[in-house]
C-alpha cells in the first residue's frame, strides 16, 4: 500500500503474484472498495505468459485496474493504466449477433457439448434445403419461395451436401443424407453411473 504526500488523499494498493490468476483479480476486486487505485503486478514470464494476453489487459481496463509486469532484473513495464474504460461499440458485430439470433430456430445445441458442431442458423437452413431435396432434384427457383437463401446455400455448398446436376438444378448427395440422419437424432446426454447401495450390516 502507498499514499501520496503526507496525507492519505490518494491511497494506492498493489497486489503482487508470481503469475496472473483469477485469485489475483479477485483480491484486486476486494481491495477496490477501500482505495483509489488498484495495481496488479506479476513476474514477467520467460515466454509469452498469460499477462501478455490482450484479453487480460482488456479485463484490467474494464475493472479499472493497473497491470504491471516485473522482469527478473527488476524492470517494471506498465501494460494497463487504472483508468475508467468503456469498450468501443462494434455495431457490425452487434448486427450479426442479432441477425443470427433472429434466424435461428429454437435452441438445438445442448449445453456442455464440445465435440458436436454448433447448430447455427445457416446450418439449420442448409438442413431444411437438404430435407426438401430428399424427394429428388429441384431447381433453385422452385426452392426460393419457401427457402429464400437456397440460391446462395446450394451453389456455395459449404458442407458438401449438394451436387449440381445442371445450371439451377441440384440434388442431395450421400453426405447430405447422412447429415440429415445425424442432426435429426440429438446426442444422448452423459449418464452418471449409479452406485450400488451398500449392503445392510448383518446384525
Looking at the DSSP bridge assignments, the partners of residue 76 are 70
Q: For domain 2-80, give the fold.
A: Rossmann fold (3.40.50)
| 25 against 98, higher pLDDT | 25
Q: What is the domain class of 97-107+118-184 according to CATH?
A: mainly alpha
What value does the mean pLDDT take over residues 73-102? Answer: 77
Burial class (CB in 10 A: 0-12, 13-18, 19+), 61: buried
In the block, cell 493504466 appears at 81
Give me the chain's average pLDDT, please. Answer: 80
The per-residue pLDDT for range 102-114, each reduced to its tens digit, is: 777 666 555 545 5
Asked whether the beta carbons of 151 and 179 are under 8 A apart, the reply is no
Closest CA to 69 of 1, 19, 12, 23: 19
Domains of the chain, residue spans = 2-80, 97-107+118-184
Among the ranges given (74-83, 97-106, 146-155), the one the predictor scored with the smallest mean pLDDT: 97-106
Confidence of residue 185 (pLDDT cuts 50, 70, 90): low
Against a cut of 0.85, is the pTM above it?
no
The per-residue pLDDT for range 31-84, each reduced to its tens digit, is: 888 888 899 999 887 677 788 888 998 899 889 999 999 988 888 989 888 876
In the chain, alpha helices (H): 22-31, 54-63, 91-103, 121-132, 140-143, 150-156, 174-184
Amino acid at each position: 500500500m502507498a499514499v501520496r504526500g503526507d496525507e492519505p488523499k490518494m491511497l494506492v494498493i498493489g497486489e503482487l503474484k508470481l503469475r496472473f490468476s483469477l485469485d489475483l483479480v479477485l483480491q484486486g476486486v476486494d481491495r477496490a472498495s477501500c482505495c483509489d487505485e488498484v495495481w496488479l503486478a506479476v513476474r514477467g514470464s520467460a515466454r509469452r505468459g498469460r499477462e501478455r494476453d490482450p484479453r487480460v489487459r482488456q479485463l484490467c481496463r474494464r475493472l479499472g485496474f493497473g497491470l504491471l509486469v516485473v522482469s527478473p532484473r527488476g524492470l517494471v513495464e506498465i501494460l494497463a493504466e487504472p483508468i475508467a474504460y468503456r469498450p468501443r461499440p462494434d455495431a457490425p458485430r452487434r448486427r450479426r449477433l442479432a441477425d443470427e439470433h433472429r434466424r435461428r430456430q429454437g435452441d438445438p445445441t445442448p449445453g456442455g457439448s464440445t465435440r458436436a458442431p454448433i447448430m447455427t442458423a445457416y446450418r439449420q437452413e442448409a438442413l431444411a434445403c437438404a430435407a426438401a431435396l430428399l424427394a429428388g432434384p429441384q431447381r433453385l427457383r422452385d426452392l426460393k419461395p419457401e427457402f429464400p437463401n437456397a440460391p446462395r446455400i446450394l451453389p456455395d455448398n459449404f458442407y458438401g451436401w449438394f451436387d449440381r446436376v445442371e445450371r439451377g438444378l441440384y440434388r442431395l448427395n450421400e453426405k447430405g443424407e447422412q447429415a440429415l440422419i445425424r442432426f435429426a437424432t440429438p446426442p444422448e446426454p452423459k449418464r452418471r453411473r449409479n452406485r450400488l447401495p451398500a449392503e445392510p450390516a448383518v446384525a
